[in-house]
Amino acid sequence: MLKELREVIEIPLKRPELLTQFGLEAPCGVLLVGPPGTGKTLTARSLAEELGVNYIAIVGPEVMGKYYGEAETRLRSIFEKAAKAAPCIIFIDEIDSLAPDRSKVEGEVEKRLVAQLLGLMDGFAKTHGVIVLAATNRPDHLDPALRRPGRFDREVQFRVPDRHGRLEILQILSRAMPLDESVELGAIADLAVGLVGADLKAICQKAAYSALRRQVPDWRAVAQIPQGSPIPTNMTLTQADLLQAVKDVKPSVLRSVE
Ligand X SMILES: Nc1ncnc2c1ncn2[C@@H]1O[C@H](COP(=O)(O)OP(=O)(O)OP(=O)(O)O)[C@@H](O)[C@H]1O
Residues near Mg ion (CB under 5 A) are 41
Residue 135 Cβ, how far from ligand X at the closest point, in Å? 6
Q: Which is nearer to Mg ion, 11 or 57 (CB)?
A: 57
Assess 97 for contact with ligand X (CB under 6 A).
Answer: no
Contact call for residue 47 and ligand X (CB under 6 A): no
- Residue 126: HSE in the Cβ half-sphere, 13 Å Cα cutoff: 3
CA angle 88, 26, 81 (to 5 degrees): 25
Closest C-alpha to 242, from 216, 214, 208 = 208
**Closer Cβ to Mg ion, 136 or 174, answer by number:** 136
Task: With contacts defined by CB under 6 A, name the span among 58-66, 193-201, 203-211, 223-231 that binds ligand X.
Answer: 193-201
Rounded-to-integer distance, Cα 8 and Cα 27, Å: 8
| 41 near ligand X, rule: CB under 6 A | yes
> Would you say how long the chain is, in residues?
258
- Smallest distance, Å, CB 211 to ligand X? 19
Nearer Cβ to Mg ion, position 41 or 236?
41
Q: Which is nearer to Mg ion, 90 or 185 (CB)?
A: 90
H or E, element range at 52: none
Q: Is 27 in the site for ligand X (CB under 6 A)?
A: no
For residue 152, give the 3-state DSSP assignment.
strand
Q: Does 60 sit near ligand X (CB under 6 A)?
A: no
DSSP H helix total and E strand total for the chain: 11, 5
CB of 158 to ligand X, least distance (A): 6
Task: Give the residue with the Cβ less far from Mg ion, 41 or 116.
Answer: 41
Binding partner selected for residue 109 from Mg ion, ligand X, none, CB under the kind-specific 5 to 8 Å limit: none
Say which DSSP state 26 is in.
P
Q: Name which position in 9, 13, 33, 40 contacts ligand X (CB under 6 A).
A: 40
Greatest alpha-carbon span in the chain? 68
Cβ-Cβ contacts under 8 Å for 179 (sequence gap 6 or more): 236, 237
- Provide the terminal-to-terminal Cα distance of the chain, rounded to the nearest Å: 19
Binding site for ligand X (CB under 6 A): 34, 36-42, 135, 137, 169, 172-173, 197-198, 201
